[in-house]
A and B are shown apart, each in its own frame.
Chain A
């Protein structure tokens, strides 16, 4: 009995400790992103740009490839339904709205979680295991400023950019199907797309992608710092970071979609 309550107590403490650690990570990150540069404690601009290249520029090919496929898939699925009503031109509406509001941000975030979220967890985890984080601290550097903030800023800037690319390419995928298979005509399809899209759709998607970027960054860093016990721990937490961030991305997606649908 005592053992039972003991283990519950330990688990509860353990859980609270994790929550507290996560809370500190978020608060410190926000501090070192927004407050520290203003009060003259600096921002590592150089490594922020390096991270932007890693997170953003080098993800462009895969984002393009996947978005193109998604756009084509969306177009075919929409046409399949709309053909029954002889309204295939509305394919343009469905593709544009679904891509900008939903699939563009979501697929981009999932790609980034797989590419960069895991990379962040692995990098920080390896540094932790090899005492590099301790070394940073012992030299009077703040690990959050050095490691976390450049990655978070890079994600917050690049994921929305990637999402815009995904939106365009996805719509382009729709165009390919519309022109070559549905005989809708290029100009007609594009005109319809422009007519169907409202500014709000794109903004809603970008707000989501910004939130997703933050989730991927924080979860990646958290999992990295929580690595314990050598290379094995790095592997475990890297996998975890992908699973958890994709899970949280989808939860957040549901939440924001509901907000945009019912309130905005």
Chain B
């Protein structure tokens, strides 16, 4: 990687190592995201995708490694500077993480109310627009507990983009959505990318969604990046795990393994 090109990367993760107690979850993950591109992170359940996102937005400090956002290593920033940097970052959490004690509209308006000096009427209008974008027009006064899981996810999406962030992180945005809404969210991501030149990082399991939105793809497994490249390269990859993912083949076990598993099960007294 020549140094001239390094400047184009809005997010750089270098040799990230993350462990919970003594269990290593990410073991030397590196990735680069260019300004304005959409990067999709794939990987099996529990392989550490959410953990990776949580570290990139500075919620937890890694055991080692660098996380450089817009040229600044966030592992070295103090709270103050990190919080400033985060105002230009939107996050859709896997569990939506709406504030349950305030209405959907207030959820979306909260960042605007706290971080900007906009007039209340302007904030109301902006909130409406954002909710409209995710197909939740008219739901301002609903409480999060009155929404379905999929609607919560969309409300979280609206909240994440309320400050028009430069970078948007989405943890499985289309999980729990019907195909029409899921496709709508994909279109929304494309629109945000085009209109607002947002850099977008999406964790997903949906291959269809990945094919629609991804500029580049990364696949995690066993704490490492086992694939990185464009969609085309992904489809053409002959990495067995990548192929397995594309073909949706289950984990294969030898008869011996199955036998061992069965014995372990039956000998285990519950």
A122-159: contact bitstring with B at CB < 8 Å (1 yes, 0 no)? 01001100111011111111100000000000000000
| A138 adjacent to B99 (CB under 8 Å) | no
Contacts of A142 in B (CB 8 A): 79, 83
User: Which one, A130, A134, A135, A140, contacts B87 given CB within 8 A?
Assistant: A140
Indicate if the CB atoms of A140 and B59 lie closer than 8 Å: no
Are A140 and B97 also in contact (CB < 8 A) when A134-B59, A135-B91 are?
A: no
Contacts A139-B110, A139-B111, A141-B114 known; A134 to B83 CB distance under 8 Å? no
Contacts of B86 in A (CB 8 A): 137-140
With a cutoff of 8 Å between Cβ atoms, the chain A residues found around residue B82 in the complex are 140
Known: A140-B115, A141-B114. A135 touches B99 (CB 8 A): yes
Partner of B100, one of A130, A134, A139: A130
Residues of B within 8 A of A131 (CB): 93-97
Whether A132 pairs with B100 at a CB distance below 8 angstroms is yes
B residues 41-100 near A (Cβ < 8 Å) are 54, 57-59, 79, 82-87, 89, 91, 93-100
Chain A binding surface SS class: helix
- Shortest distance between the CB of A232 and any CB in chain B (Å): 17
B79–chain A nearest beta-carbon distance, Å: 7
- CB atoms of A138 and B110 under 8 A apart: no
Closest Cβ of chain A to B167, distance in Å, is 11
Contact status of A134 and B115, CB under 8 A, knowing A139-B86, A141-B83? no
Q: Which residue of B lies closest to A137 (CB)?
A: B59
What separation, in Å, do the CA atoms of A127 and B101 have in the docked complex? Answer: 10
Measured CA separation A27–B39 after assembly (Å):
40
Q: Which residues of A contact B58 (CB under 8 A)?
A: 137
Across-interface contacts of B96 in A (CB, < 8 A): 131
Q: How many residues of B contact A (CB 8 A)?
A: 26
Interface size band for A: 10 to 19
- Report if A132-B89 is in contact (Cβ < 8 Å); known contacts: A138-B57, A140-B83, A140-B84: no
Contact partners of A137 in chain B: CB under 8 A? 58-59, 83, 86
A residues near B84, Cβ cutoff 8 Å: 140
Chain A residues whose CB sits within 8 angstroms of the CB of B57 once the complex forms: 138
Q: Are B79 and A132 neighbours in the complex by a CB distance under 8 Å?
A: no
Residues of chain A lying within 8 A (CB to CB) of residue B100? 126-127, 130, 132
Q: Are B95 and A130 in contact (CB under 8 A)?
A: yes
Beta-carbon contacts of B24-36 to A below 8 Å, as 1s and 0s? 0000000000000
Chain B's closest residue to A135 (CB) is B97
Contact residues of B between 180 and 220, Cβ < 8 Å to A: none
In the assembled complex, the Cα of A130 lies from the Cα of B96 at a distance in Å of 8
Q: Which residues of B contact A135 (CB under 8 A)?
A: 91, 93, 97-99
Cα of A131 to Cα of B57 in the assembled complex, Å: 14
**Which chain B residues border A127 with CB–CB below 8 Å?**
99-100
Give the most central of A132, A138, A142: most B CB within 10 Å. A138
C-alpha spacing A140/B58, complex, angstroms: 11
Q: Are B114 and A132 in contact (CB under 8 A)?
A: no
Shortest Cβ distance from A42 into B: residue: B114
A138 B91 Cβ-Cβ under 8 A: yes
Q: For A132, what are the chain B residues with a Cβ–Cβ distance below 8 Å?
A: 97-100
| Cβ contacts under 8 Å, B111 to chain A | 139-140
Instruction: State the Cβ distance, A193 to closest chain B Cβ, in Å.
Output: 44
Chain B residues near A140 (CB-CB < 8 A): 82-87, 111, 115
Q: Which of A130, A131, A136, A141 has the most CB of B within 10 A?
A: A131
Cβ-closest chain B residue relative to A10: B21
Chain A residues with CB below 8 A from B85, complex form: 140
CB-based nearest B residue for A139: B111
* B-side contacts of A136, CB under 8 Å: 99
Q: How far is the CB of B14 from chain A (nearest CB, A)?
A: 22
Q: How far is the CA of A126 from the CA of B99 in the complex (A)?
A: 10
Besides A132-B99, A136-B99, A140-B85, 18 other A-B contacts (C-beta < 8 A): A123-B101, A131-B94, A131-B95, A131-B96, A131-B97, A132-B98, A132-B100, A134-B93, A134-B97, A135-B91, A135-B97, A137-B58, A138-B57, A138-B86, A139-B91, A140-B82, A140-B86, A141-B114
- 15 contacts across the A-B interface (CB closer than 8 A): A131-B94, A131-B95, A132-B98, A132-B99, A134-B93, A135-B97, A135-B98, A136-B99, A138-B59, A138-B86, A139-B110, A139-B111, A140-B83, A140-B84, A142-B79
Show the binding face of B for A, using Cβ within 8 Å: 54, 57-59, 79, 82-87, 89, 91, 93-101, 110-111, 114-115
Q: Report, nearest first, the 6 A-B pairs whose CB atoms are least far apart.
A: A131-B97, A135-B97, A140-B83, A140-B86, A138-B91, A140-B87
